């Protein structure tokens, strides 16, 4: 579904992404994992051309992204960011209708789809006329996802989508959202620095460091067959800390 070849992004002082190649299969959830500054977000944003690559190529569904105008490309790719990235002046209904309206959908169709989504995402009907400030963090995240899924795009990109939530809500919302059938059929690329989130959600994880992929494979591969100490330490870090936490 997504094919990235020799992708490089050179900033003035350093290469943020350095010769990255990877494939994402249809319906697969790929997690880009790593510390901040490792190049995972830059890689993600080059897929929908929020950032233009220095060299290399990206194909989505067999078409080079450079052949399409940025805004049109992005309308066909779902995009979810921290706290939903909602517009403060759009109600929930308007937020969900954002992309359908940009694509010029009929009113009835937009309405039907909106109702379908809020049912699936367990948002109350009364929330439709509320503004983001009137919602809880978890609700905002659901609305953000509903906006991204409104037109049933084949690909959804998520940039630290649960970053603004407290750990408890985060686990809860995450489990619930990724349980949705709609998302199961969609190709997802998700960026996170949270190891347990990656392990829970990913079909495959690409662990990045200094602009390069250190290891790509299933969570099981990375946990049990790390290619080097960096991978081992990165994946171990959290569970060990958690395990030894009470002893301190």
Partner 1 sequence: MQEFFTFVKEHADKLLEQTLTHIGLTFISLLLALLIGVPLGILISRRTRLASSVLGIAGILQTVPSVALLGFLIPLLGIGIGPALVALFLYALLPIIRNTYVGITEVSLLVKEAARGVGMTENQILTKVELPLALPVIFAGVRTATVINVGVATLAAYVAAGGLGEFIFSGIALSNVSMMLAGAIPAALLAVSFDFGLARLQQLSVKKLRISALAFLLLVPVLALSGFLARGNEKLIAGFAHEFYGRSDGYPGLQKTYGLDVRPRLLDQNLMYEAIHRKQVDIISGYSTDGRINAYDLLVLDDNRHAFPPYDAAPVVRQATLNRYPDLEPTLNLLAGKLTDSVMTALNYQADYQKKSPEQIANQFLLTTGLSKKPAPGERPNTIVMGSKVFTEQYILAEIYRQLIEGHTKLRVASRTGLGGTQICFDALRTGSIDFYPEYTGTGLLVVLQPSAATLKNLPMQPKPVYDFVQKQFQAKYQLTWLKPLGFNNSYSLMMRQDQARQLHIHSIENLVSYLKK
Binding site for partner 1 (CB under 8 A): 48, 50, 70-76, 79, 81-83, 85-89, 98-99, 102, 131, 147-148, 157
Q: Closest CB to partner 1 among 22 and 50?
A: 50
Alpha-carbon distance 161 to 147, whole Å? 13
Q: 18: helix, coil or strand?
A: strand
Centroid of chain to Cα 85:
12
Q: 193: helix, coil or strand?
A: coil
Instruction: Report in angstroms how near the CB of residue 140 gets to partner 1 at its nearest.
Output: 12
Q: Closest CB to partner 1 among 96 and 231?
A: 96
Instruction: Report in angstroms how near the CB of residue 148 gets to partner 1 at its nearest.
Output: 8
Instruction: Report in angstroms how near the CB of residue 39 gets to partner 1 at its nearest.
Output: 18
Q: Closest CB to partner 1 among 147 and 204?
A: 147
Instruction: Report in angstroms how near the CB of residue 89 gets to partner 1 at its nearest.
Output: 5
Q: Provide CB contacts within 8 A for 24, sequence distance 6+.
A: 1, 2, 3, 30, 187, 189
Q: Closest CB to partner 1 among 45 and 174?
A: 45
Is residue 80 within 8 Å of residue 55, measured between CB atoms?
no
Q: 145: helix, coil or strand?
A: helix
């Amino acid at each position: 579904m997504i094919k990235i070849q020799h992708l490089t992004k050179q900033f003035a002082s350093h290469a943020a992404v350095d010769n990255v190649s990877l494939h994402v299969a249809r319906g697969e959830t790929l997690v880009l994992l790593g510390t901040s500054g490792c190049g995972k977000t830059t890689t993600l944003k080059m897929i929908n051309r929020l950032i233009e690559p220095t060299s290399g190529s990206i194909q989505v569904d067999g078409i080079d992204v450079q052949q399409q105008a940025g805004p049109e490309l992005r309308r066909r790719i779902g995009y979810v960011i921290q706290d939903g990235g909602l517009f403060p002046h759009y109600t929930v209904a308007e937020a969900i209708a954002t992309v359908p309206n940009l694509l010029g959908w009929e009113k009835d169709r937009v309405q039907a789809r909106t109702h379908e989504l809020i049912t699936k995402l367990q948002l109350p009907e009364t929330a439709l006329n509320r503004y983001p400030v009137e919602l809880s963090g978890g609700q905002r995240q659901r609305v953000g996802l509903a906006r991204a899924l409104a037109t049933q795009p084949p690909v959804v990109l998520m940039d630290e989508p649960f970053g603004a939530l407290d750990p408890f809500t985060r686990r809860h919302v995450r489990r619930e959202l990724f349980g949705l059938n709609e998302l199961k059929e969609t190709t997802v690329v998700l960026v996170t620095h949270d190891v347990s989130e990656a392990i829970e959600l990913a079909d495959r994880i690409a662990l990045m460091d200094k602009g390069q992929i250190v290891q790509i494979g299933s969570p099981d591969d990375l946990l049990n067959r790390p290619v080097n100490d960096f991978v081992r330490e990165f994946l171990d870090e959290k569970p060990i800390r958690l395990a030894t936490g009470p002893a301190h």
